[in-house]
Structure 1
């Protein structure tokens, strides 16, 4: 099922779309709520073959991401994203508080000088399979269950929830988001699509292959056109239906 909507302002900077954030604000308090965010081209690429990705999505999409951060208790990234992009993971483009910063680092690859470890008063957490030493900027180590050479997504969510982080944003990278989707550990997926065809490069979501389209996820989705042309697909994965029962 597909719904459409639009938001933006004449000045080119989007105003908050309440519908896109309502599910996060209204999430039940007795269980975790996980939203994942992915930015990509029309043909599903998040970067070129060389890894270049600035800027596939434009200003309004970046602003939307910062709003997402402001709506959650913790933003979660894999260590590969930290090594490749060195993100700050803060709220800078919108009003609001920066969430706790959580890095999944099963094998101890986190650089000591990573920007996400800067002491700005926000909690800085590393998730490991064991509580071995971490860089000095890390405030807390949390231990989650190991799985397939990494950490189990459901264990990560449960561990963070037990530590007081109820609303989580899985921000990257694409492999981390794909693994969380594969394990059914995402409630809501925000896909920001830029009107751009790259033609080759790094794909976004990659899940295990299926034999027939009827086995595909078909979430109930609301579509929002951003002011500068990017499109937000707000997908409710808890209301996903089979291909046989719903057609777009």
Structure 2
């Protein structure tokens, strides 16, 4: 797609994000269409010009969507299905070809290329909240905003189980977006509980992430983007709370560094998970988009509904 066409489709996705919650209680189905050079407008679900169609629980591509935009749109539609009753949680890791997300010293700027970085900012803009671990905040002092794309900044959620962060990181003091700190309940005094602090029960070496998810959804945060690091994404996946997992693999060899996913061992290949996926080409990187709710353990043979990489321009 040309840059103007991509901008137009991105405007459509942002409109879908904004209209989903406002309209779904009043209409089980509706469409979003383009009219000339104006912003997307609401139309009937059966309108031939509808580029996106809300069907009660998800958005689908409509007949009015240009065919060349389908690959781009399909990557982002799942997160737009988030609702209060059915939150959507997406994890993302950017790693080397040997499955490292940083060097041994923690340097990760940048493992993947600019196309994947832009994708991260798009995911932030479409999600209600972005979740990172304390280690990522301590190592990178990230801003976690959408400065590379048009769209709103998400609420920033920092999981710091033992409350070890100094609080001097910029996300705790800037005015770019709201930041919430999630800690173990025994690390927060009663007087401190409020808008910026969330107490969660301890579970093993971390937090009860299901309780964290429930606390966030009660605040109206129904779509969560778990951006890192590897420990945080792995814990959400172990807890069975990820709906989708995105892994961007870059053509770089790091060697002994900091690994991405760390999951319990499987004794046999038959016991290994083989979730369906789609591939997306992002510059020199390949992004694997796994549907973890469509998992299968039935065969050790690869499935046949995979497809060649789609290039996102």
Q: Who is 1:92 aligned against?
A: 147
Query: Quick check: 1:184 aligned with 2:240?
Result: yes
Q: What is the DSSP-based 3-state SS (H/G/I as helix, E as strand, rest coil) of the residue aligned with 1:98?
A: coil
CA contact (8 A) 2:89 2:244 kept: yes
Shift of 1:111: 2.1
Deviations 1:151-195 (A, max 9, x none): 112111111111211101111110010011111010011111111
Which structure 1 residue ranges, 5 or more long, are not aligned?
1-7
**Whole-angstrom CA distance in 2 between matches of 1:121 and 1:64:** 19
1:4 is matched with none
Please state whether the residue corresponding to 1:158 is helix, strand or coil.
helix
Q: Match for 2:278 among 222, 232, 238?
A: 222
Instruction: Map 1:133-172; keep pairs closer than 5 Å.
Output: 139-172=195-228
**Counterparts of 1:33 and 1:74, CA distance in 2:** 11
Structure 2: gaps of 5 or more residues:
11-71, 304-313
- Within 5 A, what are the aligned runs for 1:41-52? 41-52=96-107
- Distance in 2 separating the partners of 1:25 and 1:145: 29
> Within 1, Cα distance between the matches of 2:173 and 2:144?
10
Residue number in structure 1 paired with 2:137: 82
Equivalence for 1:20: 75
Aligned partner (choices 191, 201, 215) of residue 257 of structure 2 = 201
> 4+ residue runs of structure 1 moved beyond 3 angstroms?
13-16
For 1:55, the equivalent position in structure 2 comes to 110
| TM-score under structure 1 length normalisation | 0.87
In our comparison, the structure showing a higher alpha carbon Rg is 2
Give the aligned CA root-mean-square deviation in angstroms.
2.3
| Between structures 1 and 2, the one with greater helix share | 2
CA positional deviation for 1:24: 0.6
For CA contacts below 8 A with separation 6 or more, give which structure has more relative contact order: 1
